[in-house]
Amino acid sequence: MDSAEILRKRKYRHSLVRDFDSDRVLSAFLLGDDRPTLIFICQNNSDSSGTLPDLRDLERIVGMSLTVRDARKVEDGLAVVQQGQVQRVVLDESAFDREKIYLRSPDNTSALEISGEDFKALLEDLGFETESETARLRIYDFGYAAVRQSAQNRVVSGIQPSGDMTLGNYLGAVVNWQKQVENYDENFFFLADLHSLTTLPDPADLRDRIFKTVATLVACGLDLDKATLFRQSDLGGYHTELAWIFSCLTPEGRLEQMTQFKEKARKQEFVGSGLKTYPILMAADIAIYQATLVPVGEDQRQHLELAREIIRRFNGRYGYTMPVPKADMPQVLARVMSLTDGTSKMSKSNPNRDSCIYLLDNPDDIKRKIKRAKTDSNRDLFFDENRPEISNLLGIYQVLSGLAQAEVVEQFKGQGAAKLKAQLTEAVIEALRPIREQYDRLSADRDRVLEILSQGKARVEPIAQQTLAAVKQRVGL
């Protein structure tokens, strides 16, 4: 059975064509090992015509050492799948975003034309799931593996300049930033001041919050020898020009599907168009620096998925230009919740100041807020989604103590919320004391804070220049 017969039998729309775009051909390669693997790669994502990316990249992607490699192209990959000769398929996922893709015939004179959407559905129909992390179909962007010159990962993450940063900002973002600085080769962090304009802040207040946020991040111990910190608006021309190009590739309906847009639009008296296009600017923030990993909490995951769609769509239309980044989800406490309502995120926008612990709070304020934190009467303390307030306090203590969940539960077994609050108060005060002391020193040296931002801009601007130049050349500007 050949590919055409499989498509006919399963009633997938297709055409046999002789005039086709060779860059949109899906080449199939068979890797022989203890789990035979079929690789589909878009022709214009390979490093040269008819060849595979570097074997070392493939081994890293596939997650195993390849003992046998058959680099001959498999002329009829679908037939190989249909006949059960492979256990898994690794697919260049940019194929999914292409309006048409082509499966070349054995004689190279014609090709089967099928839509990317139908090709994805066909593979699912053949038993290879295309969404699940643990599925037999492993989705990977071969475009990046094919062109990269090293095994480095570049991580990009932004934070809005809130000024008075909360314990939620610290445990949900900054602590993970500190960990990733040790784990990854390049780390770029930026103050997302352009994003903050969606709430129309007071100009003087915004400038003050930018200064306080930078000083607080440095006070938290962010290692600036291994990480780069800069202000989004200092490179705003690159971000916004790429965002405009991305906006021309993004269906309006996708923006209206964003949960955060719906939630914030209900809360704001005036809803500017920037609130709706916020995810497009976020996509540009990521792509302009060629990011491969983006640390996100659960509340930002939908935005990152849209960013990935936009980047794949650009690469699919204009040729590979930038990697499609992966989400780097914090392993512990991705969200810190309010002390007064365990179902709401800890946020400085909450009018009840007791709902948040701020990094610059004094010990007396911290003690008062934790003492008043909402709990329940059950003396047995354990992580339970039906007990959000207790789970929140346990989770904060877990991160600060460095213990595993089971160890935290064992420590407070049968002791009730009062004991947990007392221990948590001590842990929070001790964790924040060096941050407050370092902040006081930095706040008296404004020039040092401005110098940090200037150095950050100088470090990342050449990358932004190069990316935007390539994008403009691709689209015809």
- Both tokens assigned to 369: 């807020």
Report which of residues 261 and 122 the model is more confident about.
122
**For this structure, is 367 an active site residue?**
no
What is the DSSP code string of 248-266?
A: TTS-HHHHHT-HHHHHHHH
Q: For 5-41, write each residue's pLDDT tens digit.
A: 888 888 888 888 888 877 778 878 777 666 677 777 7
Q: For 166-216, write each residue's pLDDT tens digit.
A: 998 888 778 878 888 888 888 999 999 999 998 888 999 999 999 999 999
Statement: the pTM of the whole predicted model exceeds 0.75: no
The pLDDT confidence band at residue 267, using thresholds 50, 70 and 90, is: low
Fold classification of 154-328+446-475 (topology level): Rossmann fold (3.40.50)
- Both tokens assigned to 317: 């239309």
Residue 335: the pLDDT is: 73
Q: Write down the catalytic residue from 100, 226, 326, 348.
A: 348
Q: Write down the catalytic residue from 100, 226, 264, 326.
A: 264
Q: How many CB atoms neighbour CB 451 within 10 A? A: 11
Residue 63: the pLDDT is: 54
CATH of 353-441, one of 3.40.47.10, 3.40.50.11890, 3.40.50.10860, 1.10.240.10: 1.10.240.10
The pLDDT confidence band at residue 93, using thresholds 50, 70 and 90, is: low
| Annotated domain spans of the chain | 3-147, 154-328+446-475, 353-441
**For this structure, is 267 an active site residue?**
no
Residue 129 · residue 135 · CB < 8 Å: yes
Give the H or E element holding residue 90.
strand 88-92
Decide if pLDDT at 458 tops 80: yes
Q: For 309-340, write each residue's pLDDT tens digit.
A: 899 888 878 877 888 888 776 655 557 889 99
Mean pLDDT, the chain, as a whole number? Answer: 81
What's 3-147's CATH class? alpha beta
Contacts for 90 with CB less than 8 Å, ≥ 6 apart: 37, 38, 39, 40, 61, 62, 137, 138, 140
Residue 332: the pLDDT is: 52
The answer to which of 37-46, 108-117, 277-286, 432-441 has the lowest mean pLDDT is: 37-46
Decide if pLDDT at 278 tops 60: yes
**For this structure, is 419 an active site residue?**
no
